[in-house]
Amino acid sequence: MPTVQTNEIQMYYEEYGEGPPIVFLHGATADHRLWAEQAKPLASDYRVIVYDLRGHGRTGGSERASYTMGLYADDLGALISGLDLDRPVICGLSMGGMIAQRYAAESPSTIAALCTIGTMTPEILSRSEWVERRLFPTVAEFLSPAVDPDRVMSMMFQFHEWWFDEEGLGDLEKAERIKNDHAADVPEVLDEELEKIDDVITSYPSDSIDHASITVPSLLLYGELERAMQARHAAYMADVIPVAETRQIPNAGHNSHVDNPEFIRDSLHEFLSIAASDRYGTERSSP
């Protein structure tokens, strides 16, 4: 089982193909399997690396009492260093995109390009986001000492079902089939790890990312069927990152890498070809 030492843990990863490296980061509570299935066709032109984030899949948990986006970004940096990757492209979905943003802002010289998919920034960009990302987590935290934790979790799920259109999540049945067809022995995320992961996401609006420091070409994707929040945050990043573009993924929800992987792969091919040339007005070698 291939692993690499990242800080105090052994990070599980898989890789396919040869060429310029691309590292894919999955979303919260997921693992490498969906990217492994959907990104493999890129291996004809690139060295594709997929890995399980701390607390997920075959990487598993750690003894740390809590996690932060900064820690996850440090893990990504340790993976890049441990595998001796020369300025890889980093591509993150949802929580993976949050980590990729943080890393790209802090270590832009170590990567060739950034791609985010269906992700958010720490900024609160609308009133409805304030309700979702600030008010409701605060209420849940207030209730947790007096109410059974399982009840609090149930309330949160009920809130999300009421607040959001489930169509925006994408084809969850297809995602589950892919996961079951590939490495079905991957362990489930433990409850104690779920709590740490949830805390990272709910505290994310308190983070600070200097998007103007992301000096590499950036492709910011979001699904057509996702909530408007993802499009707002892609537009926000495009306004702040010096060299960036947004694209909407047709017929795709939040699991866009399952709903329309062909569009993502084609967009990456085109974007990286442009980024490798001088069409952005920058001097850079092929990523």
Structural domains in the chain, sorted by start: 3-122+165-276 (3.40.50.1820)
Q: What is the DSSP letter of 29?
A: T
Beta bridge partners of 11: 4
The token pair at 131 is: 């309700």
Confidence of residue 36 (pLDDT cuts 50, 70, 90): confident
Q: What would the pLDDT profile of 53-82 be if each residue is shown by its tens digit? A: 999 999 999 999 999 999 999 999 999 999
Least confident of 30-44, 115-129, 158-172, 183-197: 158-172
The pTM for the full model equals: 0.84
Q: CB within 8 A of 149, min separation 6: which ones? A: none
Q: pLDDT-derived band of residue 285, with 50, 70 and 90 as boundaries?
A: very low
pLDDT of residue 286: 35
For the stretch 85-105, pLDDT in tens is: 999 999 999 999 999 999 999
Determine how β-strand 113-117 pairs with β-strand 218-223: parallel
Looking at residue 283, its pLDDT comes to: 39
Location of structure tokens 């499009």: 231
- For 217-267, the pLDDT digits (tens) are 999 999 998 888 899 999 999 999 999 999 999 999 888 998 999 999 999
Say if residue 192's pLDDT is above 50. yes
Q: What was the pLDDT predicted at 249? A: 97
Between CA 192 and CA 188 the distance in angstroms is: 12
Dump pLDDT digits (tens) for 113-155.
999 999 999 999 887 776 666 655 555 555 555 555 555 545 5
What values do phi and psi take at 49, rounded to 5?
-120, 125
pLDDT for the residue numbered 228: 87
Q: What separation, in Å, do the N-terminal and C-terminal C-alpha atoms of the chain show?
A: 28
Kindly tell me if the per-residue pLDDT of 287 is higher than 50: no
Q: Is 267 left (phi over 0), alpha (psi -120 to 50) or beta?
A: alpha
Residues 177-183: contacts with CB within 8 Å, 24+ apart? 178/33, 178/34, 178/37, 178/38, 178/258, 179/31, 179/33, 179/34, 181/37, 182/33, 182/36, 182/37, 183/33, 183/36, 183/58
d(CA 283, CA 265): 24
Q: Using the predicted structure, report yes or no on whether residue 161 has a pLDDT greater than 80.
A: no
Half-sphere exposure of 128 (CA within 13 A, CB side): 9
